[in-house]
């Protein structure tokens, strides 16, 4: 699983990256919102972990930009400056979860796995439909034809 970590606390981020690599994750670390967005523009990631308060663009703006670049990329907000208002604002941009520093490693790993599982579940559900929103597969196509034949088409 490919992770993108965006945090301006370099010592913390280096420790976190080493720990995640020991757990078998492929990790890209960036030390600013701008660097994180640039990395996401170059390659796809499975999950992003984003600090909320950083110099330059903050975590909420980073989430907006990541959403534009990779619409199904789940973002976990990890911050030492958590508040209800920030959590609600992050939620507008589909933050998967809002975690406060210091974070328990087992909790972080479980949250990353849950975000990835959610993404895969969402992806497999959307893969069942073509670009026109029509169901794929022979049974689905037959069901669609019957709906059309009997006038129950939306």
| Total domains, the chain | 1
- pLDDT at residue 99 in the model: 87
Residue 148 inside a domain? The answer is no
Residue 140 inside a domain? The answer is no
What is the residue range of 7's domain? 2-128
- Rounded to 10 degrees, the C-alpha dihedral 128/132/137/143 comes to 110
- pLDDT at residue 10 in the model: 93
* Pair 47, 115: CB distance under 8 Å: yes
Residue 153 inside a domain? The answer is no
- pLDDT at residue 137 in the model: 52
What's the per-residue H, E or C state across 69-117? HCCCCCEEEEECCCCHHHHHHHHHCCEEEEEECCCCHHHHHHHHHHHHH
**CATH number of the domain that 56 lies in?**
3.40.50.2300
Residue 118 inside a domain? The answer is yes
Give pTM, 2 decimals.
0.76
- pLDDT at residue 100 in the model: 84
Taking the chain (154 residues) in consecutive chunks of 10 residues, what is each chunk's mean pLDDT?
Answer: 96 93 96 97 97 88 94 89 57 74 92 95 64 52 57 54
Residue 150 inside a domain? The answer is no
């Amino acid at each position: 699983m490919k992770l993108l970590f965006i945090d301006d606390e370099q010592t913390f981020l280096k420790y976190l990256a080493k720990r995640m690599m020991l757990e078998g994750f492929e990790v890209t670390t960036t030390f600013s919102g701008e660097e994180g967005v640039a990395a996401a523009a170059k390659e796809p990631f499975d999950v992003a972990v984003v600090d909320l308060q950083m110099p330059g663009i903050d975590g909420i703006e980073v989430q907006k930009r990541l959403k534009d670049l990779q619409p199904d990329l789940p973002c976990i907000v990890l911050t030492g400056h958590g508040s209800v208002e920030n959590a609600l604002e992050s939620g507008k941009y589909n933050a998967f979860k809002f975690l406060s520093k210091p974070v328990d490693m087992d909790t972080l790993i479980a949250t990353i796995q849950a975000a990835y599982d959610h993404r895969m579940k969402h992806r497999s559900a959307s893969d069942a439909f073509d670009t026109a929103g029509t169901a794929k597969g022979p049974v689905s196509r037959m069901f669609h034809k019957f709906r059309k034949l009997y006038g129950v088409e939306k």
